[in-house]
Amino acid sequence: MRPSRLTTSLAALAAVLLSAACKPSSVTEEEARIVASLSLSALPPLPADPSNRVADDPAAAALGQALFFDHDLSADGAVSCASCHQPTRRFQDGIARAIGVGEADRRTMPLEGVAWSPWQFWDGRADSLWAQALGPWENPVEHGGNRVALVRRVASAYRAEYESVFGPLPDLSGLPENAGPFGSETERAAWAALSNEERTRVDRIFADMGKAIAAFERRIVPVETRFDRFADALAAGRRPEGETALSDLEIEGLKLFVGKAACVDCHNGPRLTDDHFHNTGVPAVPGLPEDRGRATAVARVLADPFNCLGAFSDAAPGQCGEIRFMVKEGEELERAYKTPSLRGVAGRAPYMHSGQIATLEVVVDHYSRAPEAPSGHTELEPFVLTDRGRMALVAFLRTLEPAGEEAGAAALAGRAPSGS
Amino acid sequence: MKKLIYVLVAVVALAVAFVGWRMTMSPPDDLDLARSKPTQAGTFVVAVGPESEPLLQGPLHSWIVTVTTPAGAPVDDATISVDGGMPQHGHGLPTAPAVTAALGEGRYRIEGVRFNMGGWWELKLAIAAGGASDAVTFNLVM
Ligand SMILES: [Cu+2]
């Protein structure tokens, strides 16, 4: 039986479409425009943090660096920020769920370029780097510390450094050894027994600890990758050659990324993130407590005494645009998580907020299948992916790795922020 | 049998074509990009513009809205609410912008606007003043 004219022409159309998706062609003008917007050269200067008056103070950064690596700021003397955010591994740990004093429910986030991000944590429950840093110290599965013991450690080990940045350290005599709002029952009772003035005194030092950490983290800047060299050559009108060249497969992946696969909808700008929260239908991990992402984070950031509008912030309310104009309710918050930067992504499996996906190949399959979300609605639409298309997308993601002498030494702290 | 294969190929072709179209969807060619227009029922004339140029994808920024009567008289007591989103992606605005100041002469400042993706955005204003209310939608392409 002869196929009808229509089916024949549709089959021909299919052939054309499939081959178009397989064959690299030169980069179009529109693609070149998007490629330039993804280059590290397009990274804006580090945004100011008016809520942290010492954000760009080198002495604060030095103190923050010491605190970041200090194991004695933990319940068992064995955990520092760097236990999970390992400088030699792009400030993450390569495991699905972080392990500190206990096991966390989420995956450690890389810190490269983190200071460009208005919201911190997978769900954005902190609105500044300094407010974020206060979380892990008191988190029972991370450092497991308590507030009074933590500020006592600063008073005993970092008094001079603290005072040179923040002024005289408030008097801690008369306070209990251990007390805090999230610790054990006795620690919480001891905290509740303090006067308001005593609690505020402790909170102020605690907030300053976070501000010093933030000053340090602001120096963890993204480094140039093979992709950036390609993008810059393209932008300069040079034909990318030699070490600036990408392979046909990598270019094909790039074209899918900015085109048919629409990755660039969310992974955009020079850090390849839109800094926003999306439900992408990532499966829940069986056995873990319910995780609703942004939907529960909104109330937490509003209630956080260390947010931009709170008493410990150095900002005027008018400078707290992110929290003032954040979306507070609605379906779109359900299981929405922060779009991660894709810089250095190939070197930091497993993926997603609880390490649900083991490899980049499976990540790409997830996007092409676009499964239903465990709750809320996925923003993804399925798309047809050939084996070659999958290889190409993964090959492109691998170009977001440091180039040349930067390789292996990615995002080491202490670099001056770009542009200054 | 052969026919079945052709039909299957055709279905795949349609799926590819549809998905390709959905994903790389560019804004309609005839999109009205005017920054000044009458509201739907003609109650007001509204002009909008970013408070500072260039308008960048990513950062929070402010817009200035100017409301006049059709005859050109400034409307100073308006209540304005802001909504919007990306019609081709089916999502709303990533922030909840709000009017934070009436600047006089029918001008208002909207703070907290962010466009986090490239493509077609709608900015919808609902305006109430002097007992009348009306709405207007502006299109933008980032
Ligand atoms: Cu969108």
**For residue A203, what are its two tokens?**
């909170």
B19 within 8 A of A369, measured Cβ to Cβ: no
What are the residue ranges of helices labelled H in A243-313?
Answer: 248-258, 294-303
**A274/B117 CB distance under 8 A:** yes
Of A166, A187, A217, the domain-final residue: A217
In a domain, A396, yes or no: yes
To which H or E segment does residue B117 belong? none
What's residue B10's pLDDT? 57
Is A31 found in the same domain as A82? no
- What is the predicted ipTM? 0.87
Of A196, A217, A238, the domain-final residue: A217
Distance CA A205, CA B102 (A): 40
What's residue A416's pLDDT? 38
**What is the DSSP secondary structure assignment for residue A222, as one 8-state letter?**
-
What residues pair up with B60 in beta bridges, in sequence order?
none
CB contacts of B116 in chain A (<8 Å) are 268, 274-276
What is the pLDDT of chain B when averaged over all its residues? 89
The one-digit pLDDT tens for each residue of chain A (420 residues) are 344 444 445 444 454 444 444 333 489 999 999 999 999 999 999 999 999 999 999 999 999 999 999 999 999 999 999 999 999 998 999 999 999 999 999 999 999 999 999 999 999 999 999 999 999 999 999 999 999 999 999 999 999 999 999 999 999 999 999 999 998 999 999 999 999 999 999 999 999 999 999 999 999 999 999 999 999 999 999 888 888 999 999 999 999 999 999 999 999 999 999 999 999 999 999 999 999 999 999 999 999 999 999 999 999 999 999 999 999 999 999 999 999 999 999 999 999 999 999 999 999 999 999 999 999 999 999 999 999 999 999 999 999 998 765 544 444 433 433 333
Q: Which of A71, A314, A336 is nearest to A215 (CA)?
A: A314
Chain B residues 8-67 with a CB less than 8 Å from chain A? 9-10, 12-17, 19-20, 22-24, 57-60
Site of tokens 């010492």: A54
| Rg of chain B on CA atoms, in Å | 20
CB contacts of B93 in chain A (<8 Å) are 327
Q: Tell me how far the alpha carbon of residue B107 lies from the centroid of ligand 1, in angstroms.
A: 29
C-alpha count within 13 angstroms, C-beta hemisphere, residue B35: 9
What's residue B24's pLDDT? 55
CB contacts of A21 in chain B (<8 Å) are 16
Q: Which domain, by its residues, includes A361?
A: 25-46+223-288+339-412
In a domain, A239, yes or no: yes
B39 within 8 A of A274, measured Cβ to Cβ: no
Q: Provide the 3-class DSSP secondary structure of residue A370.
A: coil
To which H or E segment does residue A81 belong? helix A81-84
Distance CA A356, CA A284 (A): 8
Interchain contact A334–B (C-beta under 8 A): no
What are the residue ranges of helices labelled H in A139-270?
Answer: 147-157, 159-166, 185-193, 196-217, 226-235, 248-258
In a domain, A72, yes or no: yes
How is chain B split into domains, by residue range?
A: 27-141
Quote the distance between the C-alpha of residue A407 and its chain's center.
Answer: 21
Interchain contact B7–A (C-beta under 8 A): yes
Strand order in the sheet with B36-38: B36-38, B45-50, B61-68, B107-113, B98-104
Is A130 found in the same domain as A158? yes
In a domain, A20, yes or no: no
Is A69 found in the same domain as A206? yes
Is A197 found in the same domain as A243? no
- One-letter identity of residue A49: D
**A17/B17 CB distance under 8 A:** yes
Is A212 found in the same domain as A77? yes
A110 within 8 A of A91, measured Cβ to Cβ: yes
To the nearest whole angstrom, how far is the Cα of B45 from the nearest Cα of chain A? 26
Which residues are CB-neighbours of A50 under 8 A, at least 6 positions away?
A314, A315, A316, A319
CB contacts of B17 in chain A (<8 Å) are 13, 17
pTM: 0.91
> Domain count of chain A?
2
pLDDT beyond 60 at B124: yes
CB contacts of A118 in chain B (<8 Å) are 60
Query: What topology does CATH give the domain B27-141?
Result: Immunoglobulin-like (2.60.40)
What's residue A403's pLDDT? 73
End-to-end CA distance of chain A: 73
A142 within 8 A of A79, measured Cβ to Cβ: yes
Is A65 found in the same domain as A32? no
What residues pair up with A92 in beta bridges, in sequence order?
A86
Distance CA A411, CA B107 (A): 46
- One-letter identity of residue A276: H
Is A175 found in the same domain as A115? yes
CATH of the domain at A391: 1.10.760.10
Q: Which of A151, A140, A14, A162 is nearest to A73 (CA)?
A: A151
Of A199, A217, A235, the domain-final residue: A217
Is A231 found in the same domain as A141? no
Interchain contact B91–A (C-beta under 8 A): yes
Strand order in the sheet with B91-92: B91-92, B79-86, B120-129, B132-141
Q: Which of A295, A286, A339 is nearest to A118 (CA)?
A: A339
B91-115 confidence digits (pLDDT tens)? 999 999 999 999 999 999 999 999 9
Residues whose Cβ atom is located within 5 A of ion ligand 1: B 86, 89, 117
Is A142 found in the same domain as A82? yes
Is A265 found in the same domain as A212? no
Interchain contact B141–A (C-beta under 8 A): no
Q: Which of A232, A245, A252, A259 is nearest to A396 (CA)?
A: A252
B8-47 confidence digits (pLDDT tens)? 555 555 554 444 444 457 889 899 999 999 999 999 999 9
| Rg of chain A on CA atoms, in Å | 24
Is A208 found in the same domain as A246? no
What integer is the mean pLDDT of B67-71? Answer: 97
What's residue A306's pLDDT? 98
Q: Kindly indicate the confidence band of residue B6, based on its pLDDT and cuts at 50, 70 and 90.
A: low
Is A69 found in the same domain as A33? no
To which H or E segment does residue B45 belong? strand B45-50
